[in-house]
Chains A and B, each alone.
Chain A
Amino acid sequence: MTVSNLATKTPVTVITGYLGAGKTTLLNNLLTRPNGKKIALIVNEFGEIGIDADLVVKSDEEILEMNNGCICCNVRGDLVRIIDKITSANRTIDHIVIETTGLADPGPIIQSFWVEEVLRDRTQLDGFVTVVDSLYFFRHENSCEAMEQVAFADHIILNKCDLVDCSQIVELETVIKRMNPLAKIERSENSVINSDILCLGGFDLSKALTIEPDLLESNSHEHQNDIAAICLSSYGSVNGDLFSKWISAYVQTNGENLYRCKGILNIDDQPRRFVFQGVHMTLEGRPGTPWRSDQVRTNQMVFIGVNLDEKILKDGFLNCHYASN
């Protein structure tokens, strides 16, 4: 018997955003704001000489650089090694913040926290924060990375709001909301924010209670870049075996185009909710918090991706329901 790997998981926040959006400024603001937490900062950048780490204000926090490439492509091993070191038994780190390169693809980064043993056992991905350059967002519309960073996010910071007029910000918010209705959107100037982005719980299935009702009523959210959010809701009990087979097959077939999905379901009329989330072909699901006895049990799911067929999703999901009496 051994008492290793027992500590509570260290929360991780990933900060991403296109080139020049204001990620490093956000980090500096974050690190200079006292929050009582001992933070380890991992800065990912291209090239052998780290530049971004030099731009980060000097503080008590530990700054580690990964500069052999992009975190989403070929430094996953580095990430595992660094987090292994940070979370070793004799260290006291309260939170890990990762700043990605501006060209990072969020999917593989999120997946690493589910599939890499060290990351899965010792850390809990808390949130994926994307800094958007309000001034140049529409110029980046042809960049897959810039759009995916928005589509994957739990929290989106519309930075440089002081450089655009109000109507443009409203338009930007509308476009972004259509691409990713799950994320909270916050306006900022110079990456100054009010929210506690180190406590988002964006990937914490144990706390998932509901998906915004407004979101589910609006069904499908089309966007000119083909990024769409499809929202499904239903009543009644869902057959766990059928659902498990259907969703697994769906993500295997459509995973490449599916960025994120989330759902809260009444499986087999069990006392607890069933909650799941997915990124591309990776899925995780578990029993969540119990339903209240006076509560109407609603099944709610959101799928965000490109070229998703709403009818296929809807029909497939409805086929998983028990026949109503």
Chain B
Amino acid sequence: MYTNFEEYAVSSLTGGCSNLPKVNGKLNFESEWSQKAFAIAIELSRQGYFEMEEFRQMMIKSIRKWENEHGLDDESWSYYSIWIAVLESLIYGRKILEKSDVTQLVAETFHCKNSSMPT
């Protein structure tokens, strides 16, 4: 039983290829932006903008697409790059930015991503 949304969200993203990256059982973030992207997605879902299951299915689809287009040993693999692409797709596709005041938070995260992502 998950009465806490964050625990539920992490649990629902555990297992299969959408599995959250973990090290020694703890969530592992590649960078500051990946941590923020994670937090934004969980908070938006907690607020009811989308379901975690929708997010999980989109992650699965995107990861499958990436795997079909890249070798499994491709070092450019980044779980949270796919995560943020899915998040962007939901935020813009559902016009969440127009509905809420998350603009600043998302803008900060995207800026953070641009400054620390490998080119």
Contacts and interface: CB of A to CB of B under 8 A. Distances in A.
Interface of A: 1-6, 8, 121, 206, 240-241, 243-244, 247-248, 267-268, 270-272, 274, 276, 283-287, 289-290
Residue of A121, A248, A272 most packed against chain B (CB within 10 A): A272
Contacts of A3: 17, 60, 63-64, 67
A81 to B, nearest CB: 21
Nearest to A292: B48
Interface stretch (B2-10, B28-36, B87-95, B107-115): B2-10
Contacts of B46: 270-272, 287
A76 to B, nearest CB: 22
A300 to B, nearest CB: 16
Name B's interface SS: loop
Nearest to B59: A6
Given A6-B17, A272-B46, A286 B64 contact: no
Contact of B47 (A206, A267, A274, A290): A290
Given A241-B3, A271-B47, A285-B2, A1 B15 contact: no
Residue of A1, A271, A287 most packed against chain B (CB within 10 A): A287
A5 B48 contact: no
15 contacts: A1-B17, A1-B72, A1-B77, A4-B16, A6-B17, A6-B60, A121-B15, A206-B51, A244-B1, A244-B3, A248-B1, A285-B3, A286-B8, A287-B5, A290-B48
B64 A272 contact: no
Contacts of A240: 3-4
Contacts of B17: 1-4, 6
Contacts of A243: 3
A285 B3 CA distance: 7
A272 B16 contact: no
A6 to B, nearest CB: 5
Contacts of A290: 47-48
B1 A247 contact: yes
B53 to A, nearest CB: 7
A121 B67 CA distance: 22
Residue of B48, B53, B60, B63 most packed against chain A (CB within 10 A): B48
> Closest 9 interchain pairs by CB?
A290-B48, A240-B3, A285-B1, A6-B60, A287-B5, A5-B16, A3-B17, A244-B3, A267-B3
Contacts of B8: 286-287
Nearest to A244: B3
A120 B51 CA distance: 19
A301 to B, nearest CB: 14
A233 to B, nearest CB: 19
Nearest to A247: B1
Contacts of B5: 270, 272, 287
Contacts of B18: 6
Interface in B55-97: 57, 60, 63-64, 67, 72, 77
Contacts of A1: 17, 63, 67, 72, 77
Contacts of A286: 1-2, 8
Given A284-B1, A287-B2, 16 more contacts: A4-B16, A4-B17, A6-B18, A6-B60, A6-B64, A121-B15, A206-B51, A244-B1, A267-B3, A268-B3, A270-B46, A271-B47, A285-B3, A286-B1, A286-B8, A287-B8
Contact of A283 (B1, B4, B57, B77): B1
A204 to B, nearest CB: 11
B84 to A, nearest CB: 18
A272 B44 CA distance: 12
B72 to A, nearest CB: 7
B3 A272 contact: no
Contact of B48 (A244, A247, A289): A289
